[in-house]
Structure 1
């Protein structure tokens, strides 16, 4: 992961003047045309859900300026609550939070393009604040919007995606739905990583995909959806591009006994069930709530 670029260079990259890392749409933001063409071809086959599984579309996903995301709710969220958007901590407009840093209730006017099931943009949503963001233990950002769930559903006919309250299951069929690229990737949960280390950041109990999910730049922040339930179980965030060990854009797996494993070309996500206990009445974050183990400021 590298810091975002803006302005002219950002525009050049969007036109294909650079290649994309595995996931984070930060300094690169877009793949070269040849990469996009190849990925589009492979994802066309991947988007077909396995027999018996639900077909996962884009309804409820959003496109950020540099990443992907989704409108999410907890089981306790109410129609009149301000809606929430989930993405990565490294996708925040305020920059990468350092190790141990937590952003809480920081004002924001960031906009998001809301997509329908086929990937068409149906409207623009706007944030009122970054309710929570961090790259410590996990890699998440949660924006509070100026619109309620009821308003979004009434205006656009789109419902929020629900966060699963349970830990993901190894072997489960999943879909990574990128609002930035309007592209899906289908694979399975290959396993879980005790510690995933990338540069100066360390994440706990990360999801490792099977090799079919070859996510690219711009898919950072995409919801990882369990095909059987249609619920969000993780948020896509990184992958090892070059086979390097524990460097930026090249995360490594660290076991409980300290053994380091590098899996070039394999991509990862951060679980989201742990967010649920931290969101209380009115969709407000309460980091002191029972069961909430998210890092505190």
Structure 2
């Protein structure tokens, strides 16, 4: 009987160890670019299907690790950079066409004439933003040691200037999330680390605040509604780590999970009195009082946990 179970275990391990087919880095990016160039807008559903397939073929998380996968995903910022480049090119073309056709420029109405006068500044500004977004996306994806994610991990360490190489930094977060991670949308919460748009070290968390806003805009007779769902984490040095989520459910799940992992922290709403008191405390005595209150809450929580275990 035992031998039979061992054989079953061996068979299961062999099946689980079978290589799954999916597009690895950087071939996935190459495939996306080829599809985008050849199919244009019709490539979007195909790319989404491939991304879903790749994720399904990696049930234990990305092979390269959560952090490196997140930095490489910043290449999607090139889409926004391309939009700014396109807008900048349109404004600059409009300006130079006006220089070559002054009689047409003279026929413009007051509103369009104002746009024409501002077009070189609007075009140059849009192009500059596009260059910045493209640089940041390529830097994060191709040079992970200089990425904003790696910088946020270093800032959480006692001595950021003496931080280990980026491979070890990412491994600390990846290992915690792989063993203890709970996922609320793109936010992963472990026992020690929180991975969102930035990284937070849970023992340093002093405040967690939710931001849920509804913005309405009107243009061309149409009404557009935009929702903002964000988690704002404040650490013991008043540094803030902000993560944007997709839905209210993801936001509520993230807050509930953080309550369990950092119960002594202050919880509330973004821009509330609790938030402003914590973030904008400049007086040393006020900061000392806040830290002392945190340590007292932490001690009380640990004492309750110990008594529950004894019972």
TM-score computed with the length of structure 2 as normaliser? 0.23
Decide which structure has greater strand share: 1
Higher relative contact order (CA 8 A, sep 6+): 1
Decide which structure has greater helix share: 2
TM-score computed with the length of structure 1 as normaliser? 0.24
Bigger Rg over Cα: 2
